[in-house]
Structure 1
């Protein structure tokens, strides 16, 4: 009997998906569709990068494949764990997924920054996320993949322990309670909600994992400083024109300030040109 024939009755009324809903044909179809959409978002992100800083396809694959393997491991763990709890597996899966995308993201960020710190202090270049050497080394990529999957395992263990608290039973009865159709509930749990959350999470995590060169960061910072100085000068010229209309004698003081602004802008412009 499939999920359309077996449905779990909610104590508060309404029907929810059955134990095998996450792993039947419709459930796997939604999971494969979600994976394809998430992969497409990462491709779109690459084309949104500035052309001068855009990663090669090989580096992009090295960066995103870590996310792909980690997300697949977490997803399969959530599907299995959802069937181990009492009650509706769809709500348990959604709770696990949302915790992975919030608390889990914080753990991942902390772990990546800690690995980068160890890389700088100990000289372990292979564990510096986003750095693969020149030419890119598959060994460095493999080491970072193992570390990232290890971080995801820490995330899953931490959240599984957190899920043992009693108040989650009340959350389970409340979440998705307005939905009475098991197919619609499964679509929300496996596709609609994960798509928008994964799109944000993958985008943010990819920024953690990708390498940002010091040169690009310096040029971006100098560009911001130059833009701020330009805005300051524009505002100052406007104030100067208004002051001239009110008091012609103030031109002497304002002209001295003009020379000061021009002298301050010269070093920054020379630095940007260099």
Structure 2
């Protein structure tokens, strides 16, 4: 009796098709818009001397968007196939992707950058597209990043299929949330939004180009120009004051 009641409540909370009904799709669309807006905001938070042109920014962020789409689609497809609450399984998948999955992707990016430098393969050096930027480099990096995202998701999906993991997680529910729509909003929008702000920000830093030593040189140059400008303005004011003094004496 208790088992049947528990199963009934699980279905009542978040049915198998909850992620793919109209309300679920709306939550996912809203999350995508907010996440994209955060990446735009990040660009404007970058210092002016290091701010990427819009084309380079698009090349960097589109890779992240492609990887996020692959992982999200996999989570939406996998979650209803687990035993238990669909929403719980989705958020479990999401949190694992945001931690262990991100670590796997980071390691893959670093390995690709090492191979690019060691074996002179600039096309796979993440964030570097040539001068002028080449679409071929962007496509290669998109394919590589999509492969890394797929590999990370596959590894974590296999981990979640282990019998003892399933036995523990299949009993979880997002208590005390009992309203199906509220539970869906929590797992598809509220939690992912705040986590994605951090994850997208960090991942964007992985994917963008960081030339060694250039940043400090640019900062020094900007600082020097600022001091020079201030000094020039001060000299002009002093010169004007001298002229006024001479005029008064005459």
> Using the alignment, how far apart are the partners of 2:156 and 2:200 within structure 1?
19
C-alpha distance after superposition, 1:208-245 (max 9, x if no partner): 0000122434338989xxxxxxxxxxxxxxxxxxxxxx
* Structure 2 partner of 1:163: 160
> Using the alignment, how far apart are the partners of 1:12 and 1:19 within structure 2?
12
Bigger shift: 65-74 or 80-89? 80-89
Q: RMSD between aligned alpha carbons?
A: 2.0
> TM-score normalised to the size of structure 1?
0.74
> Using the alignment, how far apart are the partners of 1:39 and 1:201 within structure 2?
12
> Using the alignment, how far apart are the partners of 1:134 and 1:199 within structure 2?
31
> TM-score normalised to the size of structure 2?
0.81
Mapped contact 1:90–1:189 kept (Cα < 8 A):
yes
Matches within 5 A, 1:98-109: 98-109=95-106
Matches within 5 A, 1:115-154: 115-154=112-151
> Using the alignment, how far apart are the partners of 1:19 and 1:196 within structure 2?
25
* Structure 1 partner of 2:214: 216
* Structure 2 partner of 1:45: 42
> Using the alignment, how far apart are the partners of 1:41 and 1:192 within structure 2?
14
- Residues 214 and 85 (structure 1), Cα distance of their counterparts in 2 relative to 1, 3 Å cut: same
Q: Structure 2: which 5+ residue stretches go unaligned? A: 222-250
Bigger shift: 163-172 or 55-64? 163-172
* Structure 1 partner of 2:235: none
Q: SS at the partner of 1:10?
A: helix
Greater relative contact order, per chain length (Cα 8 Å cut-off, separation 6+)? 2
* Structure 2 partner of 1:68: 65
C-alpha distance after superposition, 1:98-129 (max 9, x if no partner): 00000001001100000000000110000000
C-alpha displacement of 1:169:
3.4
* Structure 1 partner of 2:183: 185
Aligned partner of 1:174 among 167, 172, 175: 172
C-alpha distance after superposition, 1:57-116 (max 9, x if no partner): 000000000000110111011100012112221111111110000000100110000000
May I ask how many residue pairs the two structures share in their alignment?
Answer: 216
C-alpha distance after superposition, 1:17-72 (max 9, x if no partner): 10111000000000000000000000000000000110000000000000001101
- Please state if 1:10 is matched with 2:6: yes
> Using the alignment, how far apart are the partners of 1:169 and 1:177 within structure 2?
18
Aligned partner of 1:92 among 56, 67, 89: 89
Q: SS at the partner of 2:81?
A: coil
> Using the alignment, how far apart are the partners of 1:72 and 1:132 within structure 2?
23
> Using the alignment, how far apart are the partners of 1:172 and 1:34 within structure 2?
26
Q: Structure 1: which 5+ residue stretches go unaligned? A: 1-7, 224-274
